[in-house]
């Protein structure tokens, strides 16, 4: 059984999928989904995203406690930029020839092993029936609250790198195994209050999430046994200024890039040399220190 959804953009896809899972356990299970411990799963999910767009002001740090290492680790694990450059060259050649139909595919790297091959492939495609390019994104598995939006942002950045920052392109995403994790979803409350998205269906899944949120909000983190639960509590519990106990670390999506537009010297080749050169430029005030990229 396949499930099909359509959204106006990447941000709406993330918002609405999370809220659908929260509210519709019965519908998910009636259509081939499954509740397994702290996870609610859907299989073979197809999402048509009409525009690749993540809110530039979305704060992964404030909402989930992410640091720049999370973004850089994602890129280093899944992207070989030399390979991406080859793909870009082929796509640009086809675009320059005004080809109205093509398919150019790339496989995601998994260089560190711990990525578990969650991201499989990305195909750049044009169809005679569609005025805009489409990025067909295939995933083995996706945790939709903490991870999916970051993955969609990476796909957006790849598309911008290949087609240009101001170009319109859409995403067609196929996820073999998509799931919401109850503990992780409690942190969605920092973004939108759960009561504001609750459709009143009062499923067992809803009740479990409210119970967990209450625990994470009211229990001192050091009194919580599991480290993952401690992280949720530190993110949900905030001081009088709204700063989470995990710390005041902003990580806006607009600052997350796959490369810095730097003209490196000819002898500046290795990643270590480029990081050293980039740090030198930052100290001299010649580089935007807010931009986060692995190079």
Same domain (yes/no): 281, 160: no
Question: Are 7 and 111 within one domain?
Answer: yes
Model confidence over 64-75: pLDDT tens digits? 999 999 999 999
Average pLDDT in the chain: 92
Nearest Cα to Cα of residue 216 among 248, 194, 240, 200: 194
The answer as to whether 234 is a domain residue is: no
Rounded distance between C-alpha atoms, residue 35 and residue 25, angstroms: 8
Q: Are residues 137 and 281 in the same domain?
A: no
133 within domain boundaries = yes
* Residues 59 and 170 placed together within one structural domain of the fold: yes
Q: How far apart are CA 22 and CA 135, in angstroms?
A: 28
- Whether residue 120 is predicted with pLDDT greater than 70 in this model: the reply is yes
Does 293 have pLDDT greater than 90?
no
Which residue, of 126, 149, 184, is where some domain finishes? 184
End position of a domain, from candidates 184, 208, 233 = 184
Q: Are both 32 and 161 inside the same structural domain?
A: yes
- Determine, yes or no, domain membership for 54: yes
CATH code: domain of residue 140: 3.30.572.10
Report pTM.
0.91
Residue 215 lies in a domain: no
pLDDT of residue 59: 97
State the total domains in the chain: 2
Residue 56 counted as domain residue: yes
Q: What is the dihedral of CA 85, 86, 89, 93, to 10 degrees?
A: -160
> Is 190 part of any domain?
no
Domain range for 291: 269-295
Could you tell me if 57 and 161 lie in one domain? yes
Q: Which residues of 77-107 are buried (b: 16+ CB within 10 A; e: fewer)?
A: bbbebeebeebbeebeebbeeeeeebebebe
Is residue 203 within 8 Å of 25, Cβ to Cβ? yes
Mark whether 170 and 277 lie in a shared domain.
no
Mean pLDDT across 174-198 = 98
**Residue 86 forms part of a structural domain:** yes
- Does 115 lie in the same domain as 10? yes
Q: Is residue 198 part of a domain?
A: no
The mean pLDDT value for 222-248 works out to 93
Q: Is the pLDDT of residue 192 over 70?
A: yes
């Amino acid at each position: 059984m396949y499930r099909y959804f359509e959204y106006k953009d990447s941000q709406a896809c993330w918002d609405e999928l999370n809220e659908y899972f929260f509210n519709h356990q019965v519908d998910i299970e009636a259509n081939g989904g499954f509740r397994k411990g702290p996870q609610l799963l859907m299989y073979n999910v197809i999402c048509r995203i009409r525009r690749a767009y993540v809110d530039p002001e979305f704060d992964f740090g404030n909402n989930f406690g992410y640091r720049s290492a999370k973004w850089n680790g994602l890129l280093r694990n899944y992207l070989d930029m030399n390979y991406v450059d080859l793909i870009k060259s082929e796509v640009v050649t086809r675009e320059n020839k005004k080809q109205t139909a093509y398919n150019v595919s790339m496989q995601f790297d998994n260089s560190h092993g711990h990525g578990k091959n969650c991201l499989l492939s990305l195909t750049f495609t044009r169809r005679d029936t569609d005025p805009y390019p489409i990025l067909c994104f295939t995933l083995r598995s996706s945790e939709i609250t903490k991870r999916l939006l970051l993955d969609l942002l990476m796909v957006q950045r790849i598309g911008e790198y290949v087609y240009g920052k101001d170009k319109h392109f859409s995403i067609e995403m196929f996820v073999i195994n998509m799931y919401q994790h109850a503990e992780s979803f409690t942190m969605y409350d920092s973004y939108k209050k759960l009561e504001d998205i609750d459709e009143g269906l009062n499923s067992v899944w809803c009740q479990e999430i409210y119970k967990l949120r209450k625990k994470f909000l009211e229990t001192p983190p050091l009194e919580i046994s599991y480290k993952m639960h401690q992280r949720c509590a530190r993110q949900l519990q905030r001081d009088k200024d709204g700063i989470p106990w995990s710390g005041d670390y902003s990580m806006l999506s607009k600052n997350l890039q796959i490369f810095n537009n730097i003209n490196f010297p000819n002898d500046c080749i290795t990643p270590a040399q480029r990081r050293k050169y980039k740090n030198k430029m930052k100290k001299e005030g010649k580089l935007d220190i807010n931009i986060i990229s692995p190079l």
